[in-house]
Structure 1
Amino acid sequence: MSARERNFEPERRTVFALISPGTAFAILEKSLAMRARTFLCTMLLLLCHSQLWSQALTKQFPLGGTALSSSSASTPSSAVKTPVSDSSALPEDASVESQIPEAHVVPPPPQGIPVRIQADSQTYVKADSGGVYTLLGHVVIHYKDYIISADRATYNQDTGEIVGNGHLHIDGGPDEAHLMADHGTINPDAHTGHFYDVSGTLGHGRTSEPKLITKFVSGSGEVQQAKVLLASSSPFAITGKELIETGERQYHVIDGSMTSCQLPNPDWRLIAQNFFLNNNVAKGANSWFEFDGLPVVHRVPVFYLPYVTHPIDSDSRQSGFVIPSFGSDTTKGLILGEDYYQVLGRSADLTVGSQYYSKRGFAPRALFRYRGRDYDFATFRFVSLLDRLPGTENQGGVDMLFDGRHDFGPETRAVADLEYLSSYTYRQEFEDNYVVAINSEVKSQAFLSHAHNGLAESVAFNRYESYESSSTTSSGEQEIKIIHAPTLAFDGVDQYLPGTPLMWGVTTTGTGLSRSEPGFQTTHFIPRIDLEPHLAMPLHFDSWHVRPAVGVRDTFYGSSQNPAPIGELPTERDASLNRKDFEADIDVRPPALERDFSSPLLAKIFGADLRHTIEPEVEYRYVGGIDNFSSVMRFDTVDVASNTNELGYYLHQKIFLRPLKPHPCKGDEALGPDDMCSSETSAWLNWEVGQKFFFNNTFGGAITDRTRNVLDTTLDLTGVAFVSHPRDYSPIISRLRMQTTSTTNLEWDMDYDTKTGRLDSSNLFGTYKHGDFSFTLADAHLHTLPGASPPSDAKSSTSTLTTTTSSSEEINFNQLRLTAVYGSPLKTGLSVGMNTGYDFTLDQLQYAGVQTTYNWNCCGLSFEVRRYALGTVPEHTTYLYNFTLANVGTAGSLSWAERVF
């Protein structure tokens, strides 16, 4: 060894080390000599132990390679690693991927592991099978996918062990570690190490973008929306007096903490004497949750956790008990809740638990979720209350909901949306979502369908349940039930007959029907077969589009009904019925009128040119041959078909905007799908106005005077019943939709009756967002026609002829919904929002809610106060909270379905 090799060199240099072939043969010869002694020891162990479990501890010795270094005169030929000719082949930064499997024994390293050593000065001491490098000043060692730096370090070629002192940094490895320690030891081959006074991160980084999750849509009317999760750009972070790496992706933290916030000043952390990080999950016992988010407090222990788990990767899931929740309600009392979360493989999980209401009792609940390939999914939700109040005061109940879909192939699928509700009173009193609480309908449907080349076959089951009121009688709550079990359907979309200009189509259904309501019930399932084929011949000339069509319809019923006077329910009669009709239709669409507008004023206001189009449409429809309308039992829209001779005329107006200059999307525009907001023309305004004229104003005798009449032809125009007497004109319908940006729009649907001079319905909906401010306004106005008036000698509800529960007076409904929000769920700092619903008819505030949220860098806290006053249900006020940890989840009594924003 030269004198230069024995002393520290003053200049900074890079050294590449290798094992020589002679060294490799020496190692092999020594191992062969020890083979006999190893065999005898193994035999003695087998004889002395009746059962021996295999356990391997591996000490890896690098294999030999060709000698080469950056300076052949100063580097010994016995160096143990393969050279790297280009420094770009070495990892300079940590990867952002981390998938932690089960611990396993590390196999011997492959021949020729690249190692690069940098230091201000270094010495090398040669040994029999390798050597030891002593490095001083700005030490950097590149080993496999590790980057290790320190003030001082030693590297043992024989064992692969690195000892660092002073500002020790470890980056990379299978966990993508980024660790800082005072000093420590690491063996990259064996994935072992021991570090002191350490802090840093493990696992890949998270995105700081909000995560969008499609919210569960219930069959009971819950509105679909997207929710966001608070996320942090920091990966899993740890600190500790000691960190021991016991194997690949296995760590032990002593007297330390873990968090998902940025170090060194996290908003929150979990503190314990021992944390064990295995299989992508950190576990600890006897830990404290410490909060440090407020400037007036510093590191306040919030609550004690006997056992806690924390995922190293934000996408991983871990079974265990969630953080308990609590709240308060004037009806429920003090609310305490606890749930257990169980992972059921990669695609499913289960949450079971219960809430305890101090005034009412226990409320068990469960949620099962499954996500399969493509569109396959299944969700089961169960909520209930074991009300301890006695007799008629007991408002307990059960609400179960199942949604699922499975695709057997590209043309065959099965879908189910099933719900069971035991009590409408329970829903009104204890449902936390206002939209669901006011919904008196329970719908269930399931079907299996196959579609191919324009033809579709399906089998379906349907159950419809509507509660007439929340009051109960001796026989229970009053409700209407309609069941379709099953329904066999065959549909053929319009397609050309070969060699002709004619198109054919058909709709065929066969089903078993049942209906029950207070005072009436079908004696059995009534069969119904409905066949409706038709022919059409589309014509096109000079921008005119004309589509005449003719068809016939034959509907067979296994039973019929005896018509009854106004105010009484009809009765079932054991006689079949066959309804036949002839149908003709012609749809005429003249050429569209259009004009472009371009001026400096429009360019200044809209930044675009305008195009206005007017598209008229005229449709004539004739249906004849139905002379037994009053004898048909009512189950669905098939049964309200009637004679008609009508002319419908409509006017569609649209305004399109064509941007003049390309510009990047800003503000609300950036929420859209395009990066450049002037990429294409957009429909800014859409306005449809229409009306029907009836040549047959009695609809073939289907009209019953002085009561609401629902017919197939009126349902095609509007969902509001307007026929109470023979009439020639329908109300004028108006449908106005305007959208300026992806978050600012306006919609106004209106029905104006020219005969009575009033609005039958008016629904206004608008949203506006500017910066952190957003507003939503909805106003619903409905004028109902009178129902059937009960006669003075009406019989009791137990009779087969009963009075109806419909109102005999006209009623105006007018309800207002308003939401105002400053901020968002992801905004740092304070956010405030309120929503309210007011009934002008009853002059009553139906509900109101106020929510405040404060988000720190990696956690947030929300409070909400809600008040309900739903008809016969007593008023009650609820106090809720929610605590959110970035990249971890939320805990508390405030769910996403109940949030104001």
Structure 2
Amino acid sequence: MNCKALFLVSISTLACQLVLPGFLLLGQVQPDPPSSAFAAEGQPSSLPVLIRADSQQKTGDLYQLSGHVEVIYGSLHLTADQMDYHAATGQIVATDNVHFFHTAEHADLQATRAEYNLHAGRGSFFDVQGSVGAQVRAGAALLTTTNPFFFTAERVDREDENTYQVHQGELTVCTVPDPTWTFFAPRATIQPGISARLYSGKLHLWKVPVFYFPFLYRSLRRIPRSSGFLMPTIGNNSRLGTVIGDSFFWAINRSADLELGGEFLSARGWSQQAMFRVRPSGSSYFNVSYSGVVDRGYGPQKIDQSGRTVRAYGVASLPRGFRGVLDFNYLSSLTFREAFTQTYTEAVNSGVHSTGFLTKSFDSFHLNVLVSRFENFQSVRPGDKVTIRQVPQVEFNSLERPLWRASPVWISWQSSLGAVSRSDPLRSSGAALRTSTLERLAFSPRLTLPLQWHGFRLTPAAGVRGIRYGRRLRLGQISDDALNQGAGEISVEFVPPALARVFSSAGALYRQPIQHVVEPKVTFRAVSGVRDFADLLSFDEQDRLTNTREIVYSLTNRLLVRRGREQGTKEVLSWELRQQYYLDPDFGGALAPGRRNVFLSPLDLTSNAFLDRPRRFSPLVSVVRFHPSAGYDIEFRQDYDTILRRVTHGGLVGNARRGQAFASVSHFFVRSSPVLSPNFNQIGFSMGYGNLTRVGWNAVFVGAYDIRAAYLPFTALQASYNNNCCGISFEYRRFALGPVRTENQFRMAFSLANIGTFGNLKKQERLF
């Protein structure tokens, strides 16, 4: 019987052979109910089997199909040149040009022969080429590809909807044919969207075997989390010798994990690393990291550079609107940091900051509970450091708010109560200073009266500051006598209307309209009532308050251009000049000539110390900012000392990016009095092209150059090449930090997309 349409056929009515050139829908009389494994796949028992073939014959429950045979069963699609289908058992035997496609599992297999059972969802495929998709989350720190796992195998068994067994197979994520790399394994287990396991695998590069893996595991989940050993690292270092290490990753649960690792340093000893991470909620997290080295000694004298560092940081959203933040840092010695850190910025940093606080804001009020510790290492000598602690300090502050409803007078305040301590073993006087924990109470309310008239703004303000210390200094020694400080403060800020003019263009540089704005500002400030300044213990900037009468004036020029018709304007260039004039040159007697003096008022102008003598004029501070587009920005700052008649401090930071190319440069120098600060003149730079995962060549070069000493204390060069499934990176890094550390490092990493990275170039130490 021939027909040209789609037939709905009941098995109870079929007692003869049928030859149908269209679709055959086995729907009225279904195959036997599927097994439990098949039901777990989500196929209902009433799901029909759709069959199409050039020629179909039926004998009992056996369908013999030939010529462009297609079987569709839910998300399963099976095609072949020849096929036998047993309706009662669901068994299929397909030969010649077999193609198995499962949309739910992203499985695509081509074989010469297949034996498959629709009811059980199991089967075997022979002489197979195919792919199984993997859900991979792309990221900036891992080379990834959207390619599925391609493989060839003598046989592939589909055991259930989540498991494929590959026998005598080769697997890769490279584009076929001619993949860059493959894994050959006598046996492999692939669970789409879950994992891939290879047993006795060999890594082939360009068809050459290069490495043997007794067992290899790779998660295929979108966010992989599995316990196990990470890729080992092997390398060589001119100072550490041969370096061999590995780590174990423990996925404790979906919100917490732990990594423990170590390295053997043949010339020095061994190192340890640990990292614990937990995320109890979407808005809270807590991380702890540890790094330490047990050192056998450096150099002919075997100088012990052992040490350890710990960092704990996290954020927590707490009940009743409180928010907690922790950033704890511990460093056992400056020598350890200089000897073993892998970044130049950290190696030359002598400070260690730790802070933790709880905060809540409501209306204009802020409630904070603060714990902090600051350590500043003065040298590599043990114990030569300044330590300042606040344990704890409670603050209750308010932003400016009307004194009463519709009041023209605004009020604000800052208040704190806490326990503080300081340890300063090497003071400039030569005597040690160590305080036990003492209380400090501070309160400073302030009233302001903002006035405006025809664009002129006048803001007078008045306030008081009261501070009580549980102890004080007497003749350079700690005394148990309390010290009470009270000071009054008045200020008047005058801001005239800004001067503005619109220019049609800037000639050939810029042919669009430009607005030039000039903003002057003058402030008078007076503080009186501060007594016994030499007896004050200093813990932070509020302890540096002195008597003063000063005038602060500034002039700011801005260039504004239009963003678009309805996007307003943006600032492309600004130049700010500001300076202080002191009516009281010795700050009420607090200034000590011939020494470095740091007071609160000059800190508002510049962070660079300049007071070593009485003076009327502060340095003239110039700050230029240039930001013409998203790809370019420059900031140039200079402090010109009117007494020394030279620029004493300067800094330049510039960044540029165009396409894949980028460059940045920084230049900082100090040419001040030796009493105030040692001279310094150094340039930092970086330039490169591309990024970590970009296909093609990528390179970056960074370094620091000391102009005064005429040498490079740090240089590093990294080059990498990536294709669509793998990448290789090389890095050279040199530290020249004097007798503590002179070191050359050569590192390499080979990355397989969606698999991992082999080598000793660690992710956290890359230049990209």
Query: By the TM > 0.5 criterion, same fold?
Result: yes
Counterpart CA distance in 1 for 2:71 and 2:492 is: 83
Is 1:650 the counterpart of 2:554 in the alignment? yes
Matched residue SS, 1:393 = coil
Secondary structure of the residue aligned to 2:296 is: coil
Q: Amino acid of the residue matched to residue 501 of structure 2?
A: R
Shift of 1:721: 0.3
What is residue 695 of structure 2 aligned with on the other side? 828
Residue aligning to 1:191: 121
Residue 816 of structure 1 deviates from its aligned partner by: 0.8
Aligned AA (2:73): Y
For normalisation by structure 2, the TM-score amounts to 0.91
Alignment of 1:397-412 (within 5 A): 397-409=307-319, 411-412=321-322
For residues 191 and 535 of structure 1, the distance between their equivalents in structure 2, rounded to whole angstroms, comes to 79
Q: Secondary structure at the match of 2:338?
A: helix
Say yes or no: does 1:852 pair with 2:719: yes
Structure 1 residues 284 and 104: CA distance shift in structure 2, 3 A: farther
- Tell me the secondary structure at the aligned position of residue 588 of structure 2: helix
Equivalent positions of 1:176-575 (< 5 A) are 176-204=106-134, 206=136, 211-212=139-140, 228-278=141-191, 280-292=194-206, 299-389=207-297, 393-409=303-319, 411-470=321-380, 472=381, 476-499=382-405, 500-518=407-425, 519-563=431-475, 570-575=476-481
Structure 1 counterpart of 2:175, which letter?
Q
Q: CA deviation at 1:847?
A: 1.0
1:726 is matched with which residue? 614
Percent identity, aligned pairs only? 30
**8 A Cα contact 2:22 2:52, kept in partner:** no
Identify the match of residue 622 of structure 1 among 508, 522, 526.
526
| 1:170 is aligned to 2:78 | no
Q: Provide the TM-score with structure 1 as the length reference.
A: 0.78
1:327 partner SS: strand
* Matching of residues 617-696 of structure 1 within 5 Å: 617-658=521-562, 681-696=569-584
Deviation (angstroms), 1:75 = 7.9
- How has the CA–CA distance of structure 1 residues 71 and 166 changed in structure 2, closer, same or farther, with 3 Å as cutoff? closer
Q: Could you tell me how far apart the structure 1 residues matched to 2:266 and 2:369 are? A: 47
2:16 corresponds in structure 1 to none
In structure 2, the CA distance between the partners of 1:18 and 1:714, relative to structure 1 (3 Å rule), is: farther
Do the aligned partners of residues 740 and 18 (structure 1) sit closer, same or farther apart at CA in structure 2, a change above 3 Å counting? farther
- Alpha-carbon distance between aligned partners in 1 of 2:91 and 2:126, rounded to the nearest angstrom: 16
Distance 1:682 1:843, change over 3 A: same
User: How is 1:859-870 mapped onto 2 (pairs within 5 angstroms)?
Assistant: 859-870=726-737
Give, as a single letter, the amino acid of the residue that structure 1 aligns with 2:601: T
| Native 8 Å contact 1:509 1:531 kept in 2 | yes
CA distance in 2, matches of 1:491, 1:759: 38
- Look up the match of 1:157: 87
Residue 487 of structure 1: CA displacement? 0.8
C-alpha deviation, 1:170, in angstroms:
2.3
Contact 1:815 1:839 in 2 (8 A): yes
Give 2:30's aligned residue: 80
In structure 2, what is the equivalent of residue 672 of structure 1?
none
Shift of the 150–525 alpha-carbon distance from structure 1 to 2, 3 Å rule, reads same
Offset at residue 659 of structure 1 (A): 5.0
Q: Distance in 2 between matches of 1:382 and 1:702?
A: 44
Q: How far apart are 1:412 and its partner, in Å?
A: 0.7
**Separation in 1, partners of 2:91, 2:560:** 71
Q: Is 1:122 paired with 2:50?
A: no
Relative distance call for 1:744 and 1:162 in structure 2 (3 A) is farther
C-alpha deviations, 1:321-369, integer Å up to 9, x for none? 1111122222111111111112122222221111111101110111122
1:767 maps onto 2:655 in alignment: yes
Q: Quick one: distance in 1 between partners of 2:704 and 2:114?
A: 63
Distance 1:752 1:233, change over 3 A: same
DSSP-derived class of the 2:196 partner: strand
Change in 2 beyond 3 A, CA 1:887/1:547: farther
Q: Output the amino acid matched with 1:424.
A: L
Q: Quote how far apart the aligned CAs of 1:879 are.
A: 1.5
Match of 1:795 in 2: none
- Pair 630,900 (structure 1): closer, same or farther in 2 beyond 3 Å: same
User: What is the CA–CA distance in structure 2 between the aligned matches of 1:770 and 1:861, rounded to whole Å?
Assistant: 25
Quote the residue 2:490 is aligned against.
584
Distance 2:46 2:274 in 1: 56
The structural deviation recorded for 1:587 is: 2.4
Aligned equivalent of 1:700: 588
| C-alpha spacing 1:654/1:820, structure 2 compared with 1 (3 Å) | same
Give the Cα–Cα distance (whole angstroms) in 1 for the partners of residues 174 and 27 of structure 2.
48
Cα distance, 1:508 vs. partner? 0.8
Q: Which amino acid aligns with 1:852?
A: A
Mark the runs of 5 or more structure 1 residues left unpaired by the alignment: 24-68, 83-101, 213-227, 293-298, 564-569, 662-677, 788-806
What one-letter code is carried by the residue in structure 2 that aligns with 1:116? L
Q: Kindly tell me: are residues 19 and 205 of structure 1, through their superposed partners in 2, closer, same or farther at Cα, counting changes over 3 Å?
A: farther
**What amino acid is the match of 1:316?**
P
After TM superposition, give the deviation of residue 268 of structure 1 in Å: 1.9
- For the 8 Å contact 2:373–2:389, the answer to whether it is kept is yes
The answer (yes or no) to whether the contact 1:206–1:235 under 8 Å persists in 2 is: no
1:143 CA drift (Å): 1.8
Shift of 1:844: 2.6
Contact 2:455 2:496 in 1 (8 A): yes
Shift of 1:436: 1.0
Shift of the 687–524 alpha-carbon distance from structure 1 to 2, 3 Å rule, reads: same
- Amino acid across the alignment from 2:437: F
CA contact (8 A) 1:748 1:764 kept: yes
5+ unaligned residues in a row in structure 2: which ranges?
14-19, 426-430
Q: How many Å separate the matches in 2 of 1:271 and 1:172? A: 24
- Partners in 2 of 1:103 and 1:479 — Cα distance? 68
Aligned equivalents of 2:171 and 2:729: distance in 1? 23
Distance 2:25 2:323 in 1: 70
1:59-74 alignment, distance < 5 Å: none
Q: Which residue of 2 aligns with 1:793?
A: none
Aligned pair in 2 of structure 1 residues 240, 679: CA closer, same or farther (>3 Å)? Answer: farther
Q: CA deviation at 1:690?
A: 1.1
Q: CA deviation at 1:234?
A: 0.7
Q: Single out whichever of 179-188 and 745-754 deviates more from structure 2.
A: 179-188
Q: What's the counterpart of residue 759 of structure 2?
A: 892
| Residue identity in the other structure for 1:653 | N
Alignment: residue pair count: 751
* Greater alpha carbon shift after TM alignment, 378-387 vs 229-238: 229-238
Residue 111 of structure 1 deviates from its aligned partner by 4.7
Residue 77 and residue 333 in structure 1: after superposition, are their counterparts in 2 closer, same or farther (change >3 A)?
closer
Which whole-Å deviations, capped at 9, do the CAs of 1:144-178 have from their partners, x for residues lacking one?
Answer: 12222223333443333443322222223432212
Contact 1:106–1:189 (CA under 8 A) maintained in structure 2? no
Which amino acid is the alignment partner of residue 514 of structure 1? S
